[in-house]
Structure 1
Amino acid sequence: MVQNQARHRIGILGAGNIFGRYVEGLRTFPELEVVRVADVDTARAKQAADEYGIPAWGDGDQLLDDDSVEIVVNITPPQFHAKTVISALEAGKHVYVEKPLAPTVEEAREVLDAVGRSAALLGSAPDTFLGSSVQTARHAIDTGLIGEAVGATAFVRSSRSETWHPDPRAFYGPGGGPVLDMGPYYLAALINCLGPVAQVSAATRIGAPARKVTSPGRVVDEVTVEVATHASATLTFASGVIGTTLMSFDVWDTELPRIEIYGTEGTLALPNPNFFDGDVRLKRHGDAEWRVLTPVTELFGAVDTPEQHRRGLGVRDLAGAIGGGPHRATPQFAFHVLDVLASFETSQREKRFVTPESSCERPEPRPVH
């Protein structure tokens, strides 16, 4: 494969909570080498470098000045995404950025403008749609196993971040909330399977206005909520499929499925799209039982193990595109995901249906093994 023909040297910008997940994931690919870590807190960058055996560390400027770094993996908080991505592109680096592409559509549009001025490539999370579960669902739809797709449901429940994250303020501030925090994984899965969204109608609200933080090693005891924590929306896809979504940090317990896709001949049930792998189940009309589909691509990690917390498949996708292969986790795809999710709040505020400004192509499927 093209992406295995060259070695790519990576610098990670941000040494926060998900840093280790990226290092562990990237190290599963021999062609990807992490050579530097940078953080605004250089002591934290040094600690991360020492812990994971990374040879160089420092601040963001030092990372951009390092000619040995080809790809910058940007895992800074969302409010810094636009500025840091643009700076890295202007420094001639290829960039992969965590979701969302930017905290607002306006800032994301500035990022797309910077991509247009740069010879470098930009990749963006969410990339879990590249994993075996969503790729298997996509293959089932494309080969007609459920007939014509008619409808879909997606249900985001609380990750209970206040019980495990030492500083969950970002989850409840601008750029956070269930719609922009977890919503991108679910929507990316749906768009990969069903195509772009043409219309949004949504209602949103704040549940509890303050959240008690109980996580070990917490740096705050309470978080003030600044964004909607409960959202319900109807999505009309350009293909005519109608989707129903519930995205909530107020729902801790539920028996609702993660994602289901309904067709004229059957139903698909998808696992948690925050992970790359898991059972995709099919029940065709007339079947007595659900059956688990054989994954059509290799697994990124063992199912139901901590390996599913790893990250990095989108970085590998970017590296393959640098070498001339297909680019799937593109900024245009990420922009459409953000544009649709931002339409939730517009629909709530203006009490109307919203037509997203953007569209995108369905990403090219990964090769079936």
Structure 2
Amino acid sequence: MGTMGEPRARGRFGEYGGRYAPESLVEACREVEAAFREARADPGFRAALAELLALHAGRPTPLTPARRLSQALGVRLYLKREDLAHTGSHKINNVLGQALLAARMGRRRLIAETGAGQHGVATATAAALLGLEATVFMGERDIERQAPNVFRMRMLGAEVVPVTTGSRTLKDATSEAMRHWVGVTGDSHYCVGSVIGPDPYPWMVREFQRVIGDEARGQCAAELRTSVPDYVVACVGGGSNAAGTFAGFADTSARFVGVEAEGGAGAARGRLGVLHGCRSLFLQDDDGQIVEAHSIAPGLDYPGVGPEHAHLRDLGRARYLTVTDDEAVSAAVRLARTEGIVPALESAHALAWVIRAAGDGELPAGSTVLMTLSGRGDKDISTLKELV
């Protein structure tokens, strides 16, 4: 397998990936893989998706120079503005692709998990657009933290199912969504929101998010003195916005940096294990039990990382570093006050690393940095009000 190409047989990225699922879901995953391979080879499907991304999602999103912040940091920072995509984040890219695929397969309902609520909103949006039903599983704790997104999902016609088990966050919502899918595979498609889960999801989600990196690559060629940035940076929970961004620059000299929450650092501190249908790096105790993740950003509140990110780490192609809640909040405030942009707390983690690395010399002066701003901060206003 070439770097960020198709996975090897049985969905493997090196020693990671695979399809660890009950037999009923193994067959459902085979059907999804066959449908995806057929659809991506079909010019009609690609054209339909491109039209939706342009006319409904508002692509291409701009590449914005962060001029005042760049001057202060001594680097040239460019922001790939996924916060300006319809529904407020990168999630819509993947969901429109999977919703079109579901309709092509004859499925009438989308199932999804969500943490920050952005994937849930995107799923509800795509379902409404295409005349599908939507059921979204969301941890009870995240429902409390992300009330505006819960209202948006319900206004769009989706059923929001509170998950009251475990930590009541993204991990548990994912587990419940997969359990539910077991009994409804005949008429429902599980619209996984990140590069996690059983094969083909890590690969398929990355390919639907590749539009971020491909667009940014072309925009860099047009905007920068050199067509390839020195660093490509993105926040990582499961890792879909990072995977999509990195994919556009996989064959270049750009250095990849994935930024995780200090309390959810699957790539930085995880150990080999199996969760949610794939083999990857997860936070675990000495008995191999999954340890609860914590982050002020609900979308990073996941105890592992997608299998391709684990593989990129092992190859040395990408580095995975962490920042704290306080650093993320500080970065969000700084971007708001220097560039007039309030970022999602997830994206603020990536920015916090850029600020820290520029300050301590890890980013050489004059470096060109492309950072994916994966979402806008409207959903986090209640949290920020208590801290700023």
TM-score by length of structure 2 reads 0.33
Which entry has the higher C-alpha Rg, 1 or 2? 1
> Which structure shows the bigger proportion of residues in helix conformation?
2
